[in-house]
Amino acid sequence: MKYIDDTVVMKRMKSRLKFNVVWKTIFLLATLLALLTLVILLVRIVSQGAGYLNVDFFNNFGSRFADKAGIKAALIGSVYLMLIIAPVSMILGVGTALYLEEYAKKNKFTAFIQMNISNLAGVPSIVFGLLGLTIFVRMLMLGKSLLAAGFTMSLLILPVIIVASQEAIRAVPKEQREASYGMGATKWQTITRVVLPAAVPGILTGSILALSRAVGETAPLVVLGIPVILQFLPDGLLSQFTTLPLQIYDWAKRPQEAFQFVASAGIIVLMILLVIMNSIAIFIRNKFQKRY
């Protein structure tokens, strides 16, 4: 007795293959459209800004004249800001993830905390700017300083680092923990010598991506009232400063065409900074992946 009709099967196979080709073509076109847009954007930025990348551009401060404008204060300010954001956000983020995964009891309260952390990761950055303005600038009276901005930007990327660190810690096989306990190690020794080293690639990947987001953010700094043009370098944690995104934003909104080219040069520098950060993250991640 024949249960399968070959004719029906072939018809269905042909229709499924056609359907597959249609969707494959749609996905390919969507990918090519995104890549084409990116290439056009990069070509336009490089063609406009490459001519302004010289020694004076890196040594000059901001100016109302395009030929004298530079990114010295903005570049140094961005570096100083990252030196505050990185340790604050990573220590708090990884510490929170370790507590939630290794120490906290699994109950409704911790589930409520987890849900809110995930929700905070999607909150618009300007909301964190308002929070920083209320707490750090006004309540703690830190002013428009590096410290106030660093704490605000740390809050912005903290949920992302916590979630990424939790996923990396969960990915560590349970057998490695049990083997460590079986050898007589304490919980803290197991965390520091087994769990954390194995979770470092995932933690660093999420952290560097979060820090890359912080480097390119403008809205929270605008809300905090950080100045766009400065004629001096920050000399302390409570000193005023400016950043590359703020400087680029100021140049881009000016009506003079020359400032559009200067803004493109600033964007090139910012992209190079992001590429360097991501390259360092990839190098460290690959190094630890080979070890563990």
Task: Give the pLDDT mean for 235-241.
Answer: 87
Task: Give the pLDDT mean for 50-68.
Answer: 85
The radius of gyration of the chain from alpha carbons, rounded to an integer in Å, stands at 25
* Cα distance between residue 80 and residue 238, in whole Å: 12
Kindly report the pTM of this predicted structure: 0.83
Residues 270 and 105: beta-carbon distance below 8 Å? no
**Two tokens at 28?**
């390919």
Other CB atoms within a 10 A radius of the CB of residue 36 amount to: 10
H/E/C letters for each residue in 148-200?
Answer: HHHHHHHHHHHHHHHHHHHHHHHCCCHHHHHHHHHCCCCHHHHHHHHHHHHHH
pLDDT of residue 5: 64
pLDDT at 10 over 60: yes
* Cα distance between residue 176 and residue 214, in whole Å: 34
Residue with tokens 């000193």: 239
Task: Give the pLDDT mean for 80-85.
Answer: 92
| More confident site: 291 or 114 | 114
* Cα distance between residue 228 and residue 247, in whole Å: 6
* Cα distance between residue 260 and residue 277, in whole Å: 26
Phi, psi dihedral angles at 121 (to 5 degrees): -65, -20
SS3 content of the chain, % helix, strand, coil (to 5): 80, 0, 20
**Two tokens at 96?**
């929170």
Q: Tell which residue, 206, 268, 247, 201, has the closest CA to residue 77.
A: 247
Tens of pLDDT, residue by residue over 164-220, are 999 999 988 888 888 888 888 888 888 888 888 888 888 888 888 888 888 888 889
Tens of pLDDT, residue by residue over 267-291, are 999 988 888 888 877 787 777 765 5
* Cα distance between residue 136 and residue 141, in whole Å: 6
Query: pLDDT-derived band of residue 1, with 50, 70 and 90 as boundaries?
Result: very low
First-to-last C-alpha distance (Å) of the chain: 57
pLDDT at 15 over 50: yes
* Cα distance between residue 265 and residue 271, in whole Å: 10
**What average pLDDT does the structure give for the chain?**
87
Task: Give the pLDDT mean for 87-116.
Answer: 90
